[in-house]
Amino acid sequence: EIVLTQSPATLSLSPGERATLSCRASQSVSNYLAWYQQKPGQAPRLLIYDASTRATGIPARFSGSGSGTDFTLTISSLEPEDFAVYYCQQRSNWPITFGGGTKVEIK
């Protein structure tokens, strides 16, 4: 099973700041890496798939990069609605696995 390790666990930032979230895989997942955003009481929302492709309707301030084992989700300038938990997911190998999440909180 591929283990995804997300860091940091918590990111404390102010609106307007840049957020950089990391996801590291225990073995190569090529570019089969997705990022989800989850707010309290809501289902996860797909932000990025195939490591760097934004899903429909996702603002351009969200970007993904990386391949192999190291991936990054960047939020260029945090909006108030971006404070949430972010999960990475790999679909390279079965079973599909998720990272433990990074909480982006207001500083």
Tell me how far, at minimum, the Cβ of 47 lies from other proteins, in Å.
9
Contacts of 63 (CB under 8 A, 6+ apart): 48, 52, 54, 73, 74, 76
Q: Is 68 in the site for other proteins (CB under 8 A)?
A: no
- How many CA atoms lie within 13 Å of 50's alpha carbon, on the beta-carbon side? 3
Q: Is 98 in the site for other proteins (CB under 8 A)?
A: yes
Which of residues 14, 60, 80, 94 is near other proteins by CB under 8 A? 94
Q: Is 93 in the site for other proteins (CB under 8 A)?
A: no
Q: Is 66 in the site for other proteins (CB under 8 A)?
A: no
Q: Is 63 in the site for other proteins (CB under 8 A)?
A: no
Nearest to 85 by CA among 64, 100, 65, 107: 100
Two tokens, residue 36: 């989800």
Give the residues lining the site for other proteins (CB under 8 A): 34, 36, 42-46, 49, 55, 87, 89, 91, 94-101
